Amino acid sequence: MSSLSDTRPQRIAAIDALRGFDMFFLTGGLALVVAGINLFYDRSPEWLVKHSTHEAWEGFAAWDLVMPLFLFIVGTAMPFSFSRRIGSEPLWKIYLKVARRVVVLFLLGMVVQGNLLSFEPSKMSLYCNTLQAIASGYLIAAICLLHLSVRWQVAATGGLLAVYWLVIKFVSFSDPAVGSCAAGMLEPGRNLALLLDKYLMGNWQDGTNYAWILAQFGFGAMTMLGLLGGQILKRVQGHGKKLAWLLCSGAGCLALGYVWSLDFPIIKRLFTSSMVLWAAGWCYLLLALFYLLTDVLKLNWLTFFFSVIGSNAIFVYIWVSLCPPTSNFSRVLFTGFSGCFGDADRFVFYLCNYALIWGCLLYTSPSPRD
């Protein structure tokens, strides 16, 4: 990035808006969109069915982008949030704040999906949630941001992706308790990443075919790619150059991800290196779009809805995880009212749910923050 030069911290509206766009789908907006589209069809269109669910294993649907985009946006905000601390606070104090956030995110992940509040160890899962993936990615990105130049940050990102590929490609695994796999094997139930989770976490493994421990290379790389996007927004001078960098980065990641997938398939459940690059490509393009709308054209009214949601992403994620739109609470509030609308009852039900969430966020966070 030869055209990079330091600038003082600034507010980038696109970060709030894109974070909110992601959170909208992550917290029930998908059900609202699907219900709205289905008002015009007797049955859900094939393209909608495909892209509103995760790929069973290899491949990539639009719904698979939601978690990677969450990690990406966490990284994008970091150059701005850390710039207020670097130089004004001692390093140990910055690391103390980083450690506190990592621990809180990890524990919240166990609360949301790991049955921590059951207080029964036999029912708990140690590592099983998006918030815990964010904790890992945030820690890796924080270390790189605090100690490496931008060029070395790029190198570190490439290193994370390469190491993950090399380990999967050339390391075999065998254990009587959890099974075995040959080097390079990527079957749903037989791959190094999943068997390592079972071996290290034992009964605290979540019982799915999602990988977590070895996938931290992917979580870190995804957050680092977001951090590099933040560096573009913070350091590159001029709207045109920022957009060019973002668009070129997006196209480059898509191309690299596709080529790499020929040897290391795109598998979101393992967070493979090719998947990280493929997802990051779309993330860069979305960031460019939202930057164009909010910071260049100043059409903030178009993205205000998402900015409100993005103002407190962790809070709304936990709220909807613990009290989803299909919970008894929502049924008591909205089932009777939505039933008055006949065939549109599902759409009205989800619309009411989201109106409640959005209204509470608007009331408590009148000024979206980075």
What is the extent of the structural domain holding 176? 13-364
Query: At residue 103, does pLDDT exceed 80?
Result: yes
Per-residue confidence band for 234, with pLDDT thresholds at 50, 70 and 90:
very high
- Write out pLDDT tens, residues 36-88: 888 887 777 777 777 778 888 999 999 999 999 999 999 999 999 998 888 88
pLDDT (0 to 100) of residue 23: 86
- Whether residue 18 is contained in a domain is answered as yes
- Write out pLDDT tens, residues 140-194: 999 999 999 999 999 999 999 999 999 999 999 988 878 888 999 999 888 999 9
Query: At residue 366, does pLDDT exceed 80?
Result: no
Per-residue confidence band for 338, with pLDDT thresholds at 50, 70 and 90:
confident
- Whether residue 102 is contained in a domain is answered as yes
pLDDT (0 to 100) of residue 44: 72
Instruction: State the burial class of residue 205 (Cβ atoms within 10 Å of its Cβ: 0-12, 13-18, 19+).
Output: buried
Question: Higher pLDDT residue, 330 or 232?
Answer: 232
The 3-class secondary structure across 202-217, one letter per residue, is HHHCCCCCCCCCCCHH
In order, the DSSP letters of 241-260 are HHHHHHHHHHHHHHHHHHHH
- Whether residue 357 is contained in a domain is answered as yes
Rounded Cα gap, residues 191 and 184, in angstroms: 8
| 260 closest CA partner among 157, 156, 161 | 161
Percent of the chain with pLDDT over 70: 93
* pTM across the whole model: 0.89
Query: At residue 219, does pLDDT exceed 60?
Result: yes
Per-residue confidence band for 370, with pLDDT thresholds at 50, 70 and 90:
very low
**In the numeric block, which tokens belong to residue 270?**
């393992």
Residues ≥6 apart with Cβ < 8 Å to 221: 157, 160, 161, 164, 273, 276
- Whether residue 8 is contained in a domain is answered as no
Per-residue confidence band for 275, with pLDDT thresholds at 50, 70 and 90:
very high
C-alpha pair distances (Å), 354 with each of 15, 29, 324, 333, 342:
21, 7, 10, 12, 19
DSSP 40: T
- Whether residue 259 is contained in a domain is answered as yes
- Write out pLDDT tens, residues 6-48: 444 456 889 989 998 998 887 777 777 888 888 887 777 777 7
- Whether residue 322 is contained in a domain is answered as yes
Per-residue confidence band for 2, with pLDDT thresholds at 50, 70 and 90:
very low
Rounded Cα gap, residues 124 and 122, in angstroms: 6
Rounded Cα gap, residues 73 and 290, in angstroms: 12
Strand partners, 181: 173
DSSP 299: -
Whether residue 124 contacts residue 133, with contact meaning beta carbons closer than 8 Å, is answered with no
- Whether residue 6 is contained in a domain is answered as no
Whether residue 63 contacts residue 29, with contact meaning beta carbons closer than 8 Å, is answered with no
Query: At residue 108, does pLDDT exceed 80?
Result: yes
pLDDT (0 to 100) of residue 335: 80
Alpha helices in 171-297 (DSSP H): 192-201, 216-235, 239-261, 273-291
Rounded Cα gap, residues 38 and 60, in angstroms: 23
Tell me the angle at which helices 13-24 and 300-310 cross, rounded to the nearest 10 degrees.
Answer: 70
pLDDT (0 to 100) of residue 80: 93
Rounded Cα gap, residues 255 and 284, in angstroms: 13
pLDDT (0 to 100) of residue 329: 67
**In the numeric block, which tokens belong to residue 62?**
């639009």
Cβ burial 296-329 (10 Å sphere, 16+ → b, else e)? eeeeeeebbbbbbbbbbbbebbbebbeeebeeee
- Write out pLDDT tens, residues 295-319: 999 998 888 888 888 877 777 777 7
pLDDT (0 to 100) of residue 257: 98
Query: At residue 328, does pLDDT exceed 70?
Result: no
Domains of the chain: total? 1
**In the numeric block, which tokens belong to residue 144?**
């790189």
Per-residue confidence band for 3, with pLDDT thresholds at 50, 70 and 90:
very low
- Whether residue 104 is contained in a domain is answered as yes
Chain centroid to Cα 164, Å, comes to 19
Rounded mean pLDDT of the chain? 87
Q: How many CA atoms lie within 13 A of 60 on its CB side?
A: 24
Query: At residue 110, does pLDDT exceed 60?
Result: yes
